[in-house]
Structure 1
Amino acid sequence: MSLTVEQLDNEIALKSIIGHALHVFPKSFINHNNEIILEPRNNVYFSLNEVNTELDFKCKMFAWLSRPIAKELNKYWAPRVLDSFNQLLRTNFAKDDMYKIYDRLGNDINRKLTIRFIKSNYDLTLLD
Structure 2
Amino acid sequence: MIEKALQVFPKSYVYRNEELILEPRNNVYFRLVDVETEIDFKCKMFAWVSRPIAKSLNKYWAPRVLKSFNTLMDTNFTKSDMYLIYDRLGNDVNRKLTIRFIESGYDMELLKR
TM-score normalized by the length of structure 1 = 0.87
Alignment match, 1:28:
12
Paired letter, 2:10: P
Q: Distance in 2 between matches of 1:32 and 1:45?
A: 13
Alignment match, 2:46:
62
TM alignment of 1:50-89, pairs within 5 A:
50-89=34-73
Q: Which runs of 4+ in 1 moved over 3 A?
A: none
**1:120 maps to which of 76, 100, 104:** 104
Q: Distance in 2 between matches of 1:34 and 1:95?
A: 28
Q: Distance in 1 between matches of 2:26 and 2:17?
A: 18
| Secondary structure at the counterpart of residue 93 of structure 1 | coil
What is the total number of aligned residue pairs between the two structures? 112
Q: CA RMSD in A?
A: 0.6
**CA offset digits 1:27-74 (Å, max 9, x no partner):** 000001510000000000000001000100000000000000000000
Q: Distance in 2 between matches of 1:63 and 1:121?
A: 17
Q: Distance in 2 between matches of 1:24 and 1:52?
A: 20
TM alignment of 1:70-109, pairs within 5 A:
70-109=54-93
TM-score normalized by the length of structure 2 = 0.98
Q: Which runs of 5+ in 1 are unaligned?
A: 1-16
Q: Distance in 1 between matches of 2:34 and 2:24?
A: 22
